[in-house]
Structure 1
Amino acid sequence: MGLIGVQRRTKQEKRFSDEMGMFNAKVTYIQKTFASIPYKTLHKYRETYYGKVKDCSDCVISH
């Protein structure tokens, strides 16, 4: 068991895009942890209704 690890966590978030408007999406965060405390987000992505995986930079959290 090491002190540094990588952890994946999924949570519901409200998002906004121009095409769809406001919607709830499952956003997955990949975070670097030290002693099971997350300190850096390496990547975050979301899955669309059609099963495609998209980066979270194409939609704004609040508009």
Structure 2
Amino acid sequence: MLCSFSWSRLMPTYITTLAQVKKESVLTYRLENGHIRRPTKEVNKMMYLLNLMLLLNGSLVIWTVILSLL
């Protein structure tokens, strides 16, 4: 119960932040003077951390379900 409660509170914030980061990373690929700009290191770091957070939360939910079935 506590796990699902915290998950439901974190998810909207995660989705909003992920949408902002994805938008920023897409914008950094636009052409400028014939050259393609790559996403900045900050964007890459943020995407890595957000994906790691999603992976950890997903595994936490799976383990909670498995343990509740025992």
Instruction: Tell me the TM-score normalised to structure 1 length.
Output: 0.28
Higher normalized strand content (fraction of residues): 1
Q: Higher helix proportion, which one?
A: 2
- What TM-score do you get using the length of structure 2 for normalisation? 0.27
